[in-house]
Structures are given as C-alpha cells and as structure tokens.
A and B are shown apart, each in its own frame.
Chain A
C-alpha cells in the first residue's frame, strides 16, 4: 500500500507492505536511521518519535496508522546543523549520553514531557522526570546525567 505522511516537515510517500511498522517506514524506507530499535516489547523507548506532536513508540504503530500525520524524528529536531534544539544541547552539556543508542528516544521523550508540563503550567521536578522516563531504558548513564540534562533542557525550553 502507498503511505504518505509529513516527516520532519517534508511530504513523503512510499509503497510498503501492510504490516510495515512506523519505525520500519522511518528507518528502512526513508533511511532516517537516528530512530533506533532496542527491544521487541515496546519497553525501551529507543524508537520514540513525535506523531502530530505526541511522543509515541514507533515500533508499536503501523506506518498505515500514521497516514497523513506530521511525524518528527530526532533528525528533524534542530533548526539547522548549528542551531540545535535546547534539549539536544542540554544532553551534550550535561553528559547525558554515552553510547548514544538510547539518546534519540530519550531526547524525543524529553522534549515531549517538558512541552506537556509547560503547557499545563506544571513544574517538572526531578521526581516527575524520573517517573516520565519509565518508558525509556538507558544502560550506560545510570540516568543521573539524563535527569540533569532534561531539567537543564526544560529551563532552556522556557526561554525559547
């Protein structure tokens, strides 16, 4: 079947089989390989992208379900190569990544959680960040610097 969507601001369409997952559409068909697959049970969060402004696990959604949607992947987060999203900068400045494999999913989850809290006018505390990260697994950092990165990124997102 032919599936069209807007990915990182660009209209795309590909002919794919019905059972193609969104993550396969993104990685294998669009060749945007920043979105990763780290498990088979929707647990690890390495595949998180935004669909119509909401963080979702792209390993758990059919590409067909995203027909017509606006999808943002980690490649689409920065305004330009030298104008990174504040959350990307925060991960670098706080050493919030080591091997980098979970990082795109972490950053996409982080930007979504901060945007949600800020939209509701709620403060995003350390406890809230740790709770919100329930669906993202990192094996390298012990989360200490990821939590720091997200708190820092959140403070910078308010000034954007």
Chain B
C-alpha cells in the first residue's frame, strides 16, 4: 500500500466564501448589539444621576410647578403590586394550560385549538387587552372605576399566553423516559406530573415565567386604560395607582427638564427591577437544585 501523499487542495474560492460568510455573520451580530448597548448606555447616562437626587426613591411626584418635582416611590410600589398580582393570576393558570397540553391533551383536536388561540393571543397588541378590561370592568363599574387590580387582570391576560407557550416548550423537553419510569413504578398520573415532571422542568418554567413578568412590568397601554394615573402613594389595589411605565409616559412629555430627567431615572429603575428579579430567581433556583 502506498502512503498518503498529501490531502486534496481546498480551492481558493471555497476559502474566500468561508471567510466572507464568517465575517458577515459577525457583522450581523454586532449590528444587533448596537441598539442594545446604546439603550443601556443612554438610560444609564441620563438616569443614573437621578438616583442620587434627594428623595428620588422616598418621595412621590408632588405636582409642584417649581422646585423638586418629587421622586417615584408610589410608581415603584404600584408597579410591584400590580405585577405581583398579575403574576399570581397568570403563572399558575399558564403552567396548568401547558401541563394540560403536554400531559393530557397532546395532539387531540381540542388541544390544537387551544394551541392556536394561545398563538393568536401572543400576537394581540397589549392595548387591546387594556381596552377589553376597560370596557368590561372599568365602564362596567365592577368594584369601582379605575383600580390597580384591573391593571393586574389586563397584564395577566397579556402574560398568560407567554407563560403557557414557554412552559409547553419546557415541559416537552422533559424526557419521556422519566414519565415512563414513574408510571412503571405504579405512580398515578398526577403524582408523575407533580413529583417528576414539574421538578425536572422547574428551572425552565422559572425562566419562562420571568420572561412574562419582565414583559408585563414594562407595559404601559393596558395600565392607562385600567389603573389610570395617580401620583399619591397607595398600597391599595382597589384604588387608582401610580406605575413606572405610566409615570415615564407622562413625565417624558413634560416641558420641565427636571420631570423629563425623572422619566429617565424611572426607566433605569424599571430595567434594574427586571435585572434584580432575574438574579434573585436564578439564585433561588440554584439553591433549590442543590438541596
């Protein structure tokens, strides 16, 4: 047998194509990064100094024409409460829908109809959910006019399909062999789901839920129609509340520079809240997996 005498040459054209393709993919990635970095840079540059003004986190907007316009305390409290309630509504229901689709509905006609509607709901503009709640609950005077909890309901409608879709994908990733192992031990289906499927999927379910929460936190339109606008601090979900997105929306159109600056501070706060939530959730999930 003769020895291998060199490998076939790679044509220059192939080399060139390879280089061009690699370079263009890199350029595309960089282009995608530009707006992201600019947003973070701008929000930090304009907002960070606001954080250190006296009373930014400890006072409410006061409506004075002169002097300190006040901070964003009521907006932070309102956003946290409204989003918390929306989370409590949408995540259990969303995960339940996904469990039904993956564990029971599978490819049945009904399950496919549900899937289709979830997809449609994901694409519905958020203002439509706001209008819907406005007409049904606000104009209908269910428990008062504009209230915080109606904002939560509108946000949960928005978050529900996101949670359900993300959870379905994650639950499908749980290997069937684990379900079979549990079933073959004689476990009833509900225990297979609660003791094996859900714990295995937990980190992914958490990520999907966070995505929905982050999305809900930044929504303005559904809140304008349901919570309306307030400036005073209230912890009462049954009253009109202030929220970060609505505060930003109002402040940014103000002729006063101090108030426009407050909008940037509020925007940075919103970004920071989402970031903190992400970090906390990740720490919690890591700890629970160790245990």
* A, B: real partners: no
**CB within 8 Å of B: which residues of A?**
none
Contact residues of B with A, CB < 8 Å? Answer: none
